[in-house]
A and B are shown apart, each in its own frame.
Chain A
Amino acid sequence: MLGGLYGYLPPPSDEDKPTNTTTTVWSIFAPPQTILKPQSKPKTTQNSLPTRPHSSPAIAPSPDDVVALPQPALVDVTSTVIEEHDPARPNDYEDYRREKKKKEVDVEINRELERRRQEEEEREMREKGNLVSTPVSAQRVTRHQLPQHPKIKIILSFNPASPAFTLPLHSHSDTSAMDQEARNGELTHHVSKKPKLTRCISEAEIRDEFSHHQHGVARINNGSFGSCPKSVLADQQKWQLKFLQQPDDFYFNSLRKGILESRAAVKDLINADDVGEISLVDNATTAAAIVLQQIGRGFTEGRFHRNDTVLMLHCAFQAVKKSIQAYVTRAGGSVVEVQLPFPLASEEEIINEFKKGIEKGKKDGKMIRLAIIDHITSMPCVVIPVRKLVKICRDEGVDQVFVDAAHAMGSIKIDVKEIGADFYVSNLHKWFFCPPSVAFLYCRKSILSSDMHHPVVSHEFGNGLPIESAWIGTRDYSAQLVIPSAVTFVSRFEGGIDGIMQRNHEQALKMARMLANAWGTSLGSPPEICAAMVMVGLPSRLRVMGEDDALRLRGHLRVRFGVEVPIHYQAPKDDGQPQAGARDKDGIITGYARISHQVYNTLEDYEKFRDAVILLVEEGQLDVDSWEEFNGIA
């Protein structure tokens, strides 16, 4: 096929469908489409080609959505480009799935209607028998009457903006169940949304799942790098092997499907509207690059004014700060950092500081183009009231809101609709038991999303971020493919991931209090603004006097005591006074440990840490300079 300068790439299952390339865009980002089921339309032809959009009026794109293939303006030659291994297109698979599910739903509808018709007939028969007139509201409903019935609308749309499928017939107990089933989306059958509680995982099984962890190390730092159980690792190795066994076949026939299933699992977990809102990327750092590159283009292409601002929290992750520097500052944007106090006494403090930051960002008529809000800050670690801050952003006219929730999934409840941000990223390898590395980036369906691109550009460029992200050249996609496996893993725990979160939170707090009591110090924030990580003050006599000391102490704890825990240095206020409440009997608390709790942790881990610190204090002579030196990350 000629003409596609940048390569018309037919799908492997290509069945002569010229609009294919564009339907994907439609399928993900088009406005809601509600199409009345045509009168007397028979079941969708079973043998119709799955990807042919017009085979089903119910999901056919409107003409506006079928745009011509983009033709680059600035190129001389037009001719064919053929790639060796690209024609596979995940989006076709989505079309296919949509079509397939639609057929299933059609069958379901017809069955339901048939059933109701029979019920109505039976009732009429009964009523006739009883000589009772039929009430108007209980008019007999048949398939043929459906379209004309003023109150009956069958909405068949898989668009996120509308309820996936509603059957607002007269009340019937089954309707809501069906409704519910449909609302859960076309793909939910892959992953059991509710954890199945057959038999909970035993202590011994948990130990076995994490038996590859270094023995003799108190690993109370799940936050930095997460953990991955053996069962998920085994699944990952299966995927890796599958690729190596027959890569062409894997690429054409397994990869797209696998990634789609993972995305569908994420969609359900975070209450997104549509799987088209979910992209899988390596990590939160990659997601930040995607979002900030888009903002950067706003500046370089003149849509934003120079010095329009990006707002961020002072304690944002270092990589995010650097991304802002690379993409926003370089492109002429300015940055406002919101200073947060630490230790924190209440959520209010955060909200007040944030409001001040917004004022500062809007000074002199500047526009705030993006606010970046951590859901859980890394160092020091605090849960931020994102929902409230997002709302403030909306009220104050901030263009876009990006929630960096690197630590969120599996450690705090995520409901993207409730939070209401434009972009939300969370790693899955930190608290959701995935191997390194995989994260999801949620992009709320909006016009903006169409200019979101993965910085690594493949032949999928322009097919929407989820599709672009699903193929960024040959590489190992196995970590992205095991999300269903991680879902299975968490479902073995009482209460599923919610139960895990709850218990980790309780245990982390309990352990933090135990440590603070033993050391005569205090926690860095009130219990309600912690997740599965808590900041615990270290005895002032350890004299952590700077970032370097904190890093040395961390290394020393690893090497000498076998304790893995990150240490935070908190400078006193400018006037040399301690932050509120940050004092123990000997002086100002300047060092905090961030302890984590994950399912594999035991009381002994924390006792080991407790005793190590007590020993260091008792030894008195803290030979900081002899401690191991290294560079750091949290």
Chain B
Amino acid sequence: MDINGCDAKISDTHLPKKPKLSPTLISDTELESEFSHHVQNIARINNGSFGCCPKSVMSAQQKWQLEFLKQPDDFYFNRLKEGILQSRLVIKDLVNADHVDEISIVDNATTAAAIVLQSVAWDFIQGKFNKGDAAVMLHYAYGAVKKSVEAYVTRAGGYVIEVELPFPVNSVSEIISEFRRALERGKVNGRKVRLAVIDHVTSMPSVVIPVKELVKICREEGVDKVFVDAAHGIGCVDVDMKEIGADFYTSNLHKWFFCPPAAAFLYCRKSSEIDDLHHPVVSHEYGNGLAIESAWIGTRDYSAQLVVPKVLEFVNRFEGGIEGIKKRNHKAVVEMGEMLAKAWGTHLGSPPEMCSSMIMVGLPASLGISSDSVALKLRTHLRNSFSVEVPIYYRAPGDGVVNPVTGYARISHQVYNKPDDYYRFRDAINQLVNDKFTCELLS
């Protein structure tokens, strides 16, 4: 924390590539101390939106920041490249990529989307794709990605098809059949489907998408490029590049992998097309491959990208490393989700096997959640009046449904969470219901 006291060598951030489990596992006290900077007495059950970063990683980051400030020329010439390479190597192993060249580090999934979609735009502009050729994406794709598709693909002449997905969802097959239908629609009139954007874990509502199956379908149907947006991927679901088989796959590292804001990786399968991927911010490294281009986009703070080895060290202090964390989070969030649904007399938004470390829980209908903005108001109200940090999703009711559930909370579970966090949320909602509160009162 002290910008003075960071004279220590930073060599400890260069870690062995293979996860090594420390002999001693992290204790409860240590765990608490690692997240003691979180505002106290807040039920933070929304790891999904912004993630979290433990203190040991933060201090490693500050060492890197100081390294730069100390002697920037030296840092630039002698440390930065090597440091980023180390991070990329760690990621390569974690996601089972073939080669470190397939891994670039960027700020976040939003940046990765811009890189991929810009290359698709060039394909349209330069006539490799015909105007009117289709891009398919999920209806529940992240808003920023949808905007990016609009800015790059639609503007360059692409035709965008959204795959409607049911929610609440009951089975994987519902998603698969909707996806197939969208591809068929994409191929109407001899059009070609040039791009599929598939979320690995949708954000809102949160559902785990059967990416492996959908990628396979894309291959069978001759889709040119498949981009998996796994903003919530690493640390949250299984991320194996070879198994998933997409052309591009991005995941944030600051959401579920304990990196500080912001770092994400973009995997680009080795193929001839990789040469045509460029970071939108162009430096003197232009043309040296996306990984190198991304590693220098002008003077800036690269520290978040440099602490990946330190993060690996952190997660390996837990039983089973990141895999163990993931499994326990999933188990706990399902348990808490079921507890809440039971207490409120509602249901979950998806079966447990279709959720990761986040799950959608129906809110009592009597709350009267009647629009997106009302859902947002409820979220603010929960923060301000009950110290509960949780995002709320509005779902328009189907025709003729009596007393429908129109609001779902997306709860997350991360290592710092305790059952009390969820009990507080449960009690807050119960109190609102008992008080005959409706969201109309919030306007």
Please choose the segment from A195-203, A472-480, A581-589 that sits at the chain B interface, where 4 or more of its residues have CB less than 8 A away. A472-480
Q: For the complex, is B170 an interface residue (Cβ under 8 Å from A)?
A: no
B50 x A233 contact (CB < 8 A): no
Task: Give chain A nearest CB distance to B42 CB in angstroms.
Answer: 6
**A325 vs B371: C-alpha distance when bound (angstroms):** 47
Chain B 40-80, CB-CB to A under 8 Å as 1, else 0, gives 00101010111111000010001001101111111011100
Q: For the complex, is B118 an interface residue (Cβ under 8 Å from A)?
A: yes
Q: Which B1-44 residues have C-beta < 8 A from chain A?
A: 1, 3-4, 37-39, 42, 44
A326 x B139 contact (CB < 8 A): no
**A155 vs B357: C-alpha distance when bound (angstroms):** 56
B162 x A241 contact (CB < 8 A): no
B164 x A244 contact (CB < 8 A): no
> A246 contacts which of B38, B65, B300 (Cβ < 8 Å)?
B38
Q: For the complex, is A2 an interface residue (Cβ under 8 Å from B)?
A: yes
Residues of B within 8 A of A286 (CB): 281, 297-298
A74 x B159 contact (CB < 8 A): yes
Q: For the complex, is B380 an interface residue (Cβ under 8 Å from A)?
A: yes
Contact A225 B282, CB 8 Å, known A248-B46, A631-B77: no
The residue of chain A having its C-beta at the shortest distance from the C-beta of B135 within the complex is A74
Contact A224 B297, CB 8 Å, known A9-B143, A82-B394, A555-B77: no
Residues of B within 8 A of A40 (CB): none
> A322 contacts which of B46, B284, B383 (Cβ < 8 Å)?
B284
Q: Which B183-237 residues have C-beta < 8 A from chain A?
A: 185, 203-204
**A351 vs B261: C-alpha distance when bound (angstroms):** 46
Contact A84 B261, CB 8 Å, known A8-B372, A75-B161: no
Please choose the segment from A95-103, A212-220, A256-264, A511-519 that sits at the chain B interface, where 4 or more of its residues have CB less than 8 A away. A212-220
B282 x A81 contact (CB < 8 A): no
**A72 vs B151: C-alpha distance when bound (angstroms):** 10
> B372 contacts which of A10, A76, A436, A633 (Cβ < 8 Å)?
A10
The residue of chain B having its C-beta at the shortest distance from the C-beta of A472 within the complex is B110
Residues of A within 8 A of B113 (CB): 457
Q: For the complex, is A80 an interface residue (Cβ under 8 Å from B)?
A: yes
Chain A 555-578, CB-CB to B under 8 Å as 1, else 0, gives 100100000100000000000000
A457 x B299 contact (CB < 8 A): no
Task: Give chain B nearest CB distance to A341 CB in angstroms.
Answer: 24
Q: For the complex, is B260 an interface residue (Cβ under 8 Å from A)?
A: yes
> A458 contacts which of B49, B62, B144 (Cβ < 8 Å)?
B144
Chain B 139-154, CB-CB to A under 8 Å as 1, else 0, gives 1111110111011101
**A136 vs B267: C-alpha distance when bound (angstroms):** 79
> B151 contacts which of A16, A81, A226, A461 (Cβ < 8 Å)?
A461
Task: Give chain B nearest CB distance to A472 CB in angstroms.
Answer: 6
B158 x A74 contact (CB < 8 A): yes
Please choose the segment from A24-32, A277-285, A391-399, A492-500 that sits at the chain B interface, where 4 or more of its residues have CB less than 8 A away. A277-285
A319 x B77 contact (CB < 8 A): no
Q: For the complex, is B425 an interface residue (Cβ under 8 Å from A)?
A: no
The residue of chain B having its C-beta at the shortest distance from the C-beta of A252 within the complex is B380
Residues of B within 8 A of A631 (CB): 77
Task: Give chain B nearest CB distance to A297 CB in angstroms.
Answer: 8
Q: Which B150-173 residues have C-beta < 8 A from chain A?
A: 150-152, 154-156, 158-162, 164
B69 x A435 contact (CB < 8 A): yes
Residues of B within 8 A of A297 (CB): 155
> A10 contacts which of B254, B283, B376, B410 (Cβ < 8 Å)?
B376
Interface centre among A83, A244, A293 (most CB of B within 10 A): A244
Residues of B within 8 A of A74 (CB): 154, 158-160
Task: Give chain B nearest CB distance to A306 CB in angstroms.
Answer: 13
Q: For the complex, is A86 an interface residue (Cβ under 8 Å from B)?
A: yes
Interface centre among A2, A10, A455, A555 (most CB of B within 10 A): A455
A326 x B278 contact (CB < 8 A): yes
**A277 vs B394: C-alpha distance when bound (angstroms):** 36
Q: For the complex, is A453 an interface residue (Cβ under 8 Å from B)?
A: yes
Task: Give chain A nearest CB distance to B104 CB in angstroms.
Answer: 14
**A235 vs B385: C-alpha distance when bound (angstroms):** 29
Q: For the complex, is B340 an interface residue (Cβ under 8 Å from A)?
A: no
Task: Give chain A nearest CB distance to B253 CB in angstroms.
Answer: 11
Task: Give chain B nearest CB distance to A242 CB in angstroms.
Answer: 10
A82 x B50 contact (CB < 8 A): no
Contact A228 B300, CB 8 Å, known A241-B37, A326-B282, A558-B74: no
Q: Which A463-516 residues have C-beta < 8 A from chain B?
A: 472-476, 479
Contact A284 B298, CB 8 Å, known A211-B4, A246-B42, A473-B109: yes
Residues of A within 8 A of B414 (CB): none
Q: Which A1-24 residues have C-beta < 8 A from chain B?
A: 1-2, 6-10, 12, 14-16
A458 x B110 contact (CB < 8 A): yes
Q: Which B376-405 residues have C-beta < 8 A from chain A?
A: 376-377, 380, 383, 389, 391, 393-394, 396
Chain B interface residue count, Cβ-Cβ cutoff 8 angstroms: 99
Q: For the complex, is A354 an interface residue (Cβ under 8 Å from B)?
A: no
Residues of B within 8 A of A331 (CB): 125
**A318 vs B282: C-alpha distance when bound (angstroms):** 10
> A282 contacts which of B65, B261, B281, B410 (Cβ < 8 Å)?
B281
Residues of B within 8 A of A457 (CB): 110, 113-114, 144, 147-148, 150-152
A212 x B280 contact (CB < 8 A): no
Residues of B within 8 A of A429 (CB): 299
Task: Give chain A nearest CB distance to B279 CB in angstroms.
Answer: 9
Residues of A within 8 A of B375 (CB): 82
Task: Give chain A nearest CB distance to B283 CB in angstroms.
Answer: 4
Q: For the complex, is A608 an interface residue (Cβ under 8 Å from B)?
A: no
Residues of B within 8 A of A16 (CB): 373, 443
> A318 contacts which of B39, B66, B122, B284 (Cβ < 8 Å)?
B284
Q: For the complex, is B350 an interface residue (Cβ under 8 Å from A)?
A: no
B254 x A474 contact (CB < 8 A): yes
A83 x B52 contact (CB < 8 A): no
A473 x B107 contact (CB < 8 A): yes
Task: Give chain A nearest CB distance to B112 CB in angstroms.
Answer: 9
Residues of A within 8 A of B3 (CB): 212, 230, 233-234, 237
**A330 vs B280: C-alpha distance when bound (angstroms):** 14
B111 x A473 contact (CB < 8 A): yes
The residue of chain A having its C-beta at the shortest distance from the C-beta of B113 within the complex is A457
Chain B 253-288, CB-CB to A under 8 Å as 1, else 0, gives 011000011100000000000000010111111110
Task: Give chain A nearest CB distance to B47 CB in angstroms.
Answer: 10
Q: Which B91-108 residues have C-beta < 8 A from chain A?
A: 107-108
Contact A475 B107, CB 8 Å, known A82-B393, A326-B278, A437-B299: yes
Q: For the complex, is B420 an interface residue (Cβ under 8 Å from A)?
A: no
**A225 vs B73: C-alpha distance when bound (angstroms):** 7
B410 x A84 contact (CB < 8 A): yes
Task: Give chain A nearest CB distance to B202 CB in angstroms.
Answer: 10
**A288 vs B72: C-alpha distance when bound (angstroms):** 23
Q: For the complex, is B329 an interface residue (Cβ under 8 Å from A)?
A: no
**A457 vs B154: C-alpha distance when bound (angstroms):** 13
Task: Give chain B nearest CB distance to A222 CB in angstroms.
Answer: 10
**A residues within 8 Å of B by Cβ?**
1-2, 6-10, 12, 14-16, 72-77, 79-87, 211-214, 217, 219, 221, 224-228, 230, 233-234, 237, 240-241, 243-249, 251-252, 282-286, 288-289, 293, 297, 300, 318-319, 322-323, 325-327, 330-331, 427, 429-430, 435-437, 453, 455-459, 461-462, 472-476, 479, 555, 558, 564, 630-633
Q: A283-B297, A461-B148 are in contact. List 18 more A-B contacts (CB 8 A).
A: A16-B443, A75-B154, A77-B161, A84-B203, A225-B72, A243-B50, A244-B53, A244-B260, A247-B51, A285-B283, A322-B283, A323-B286, A326-B278, A326-B282, A472-B107, A472-B108, A476-B261, A630-B78
**Closest 4 pairs between A and B when the two form their complex, measured CB to CB:** A285-B298, A473-B110, A455-B280, A247-B50
CB<8 Å pairs between A and B, sample of 27:
A14-B373, A74-B159, A77-B161, A79-B162, A82-B143, A83-B142, A86-B144, A213-B69, A214-B71, A217-B71, A225-B72, A237-B3, A246-B38, A248-B46, A289-B281, A455-B281, A457-B152, A459-B147, A461-B148, A472-B107, A473-B107, A473-B111, A474-B50, A475-B262, A558-B73, A630-B77, A631-B77
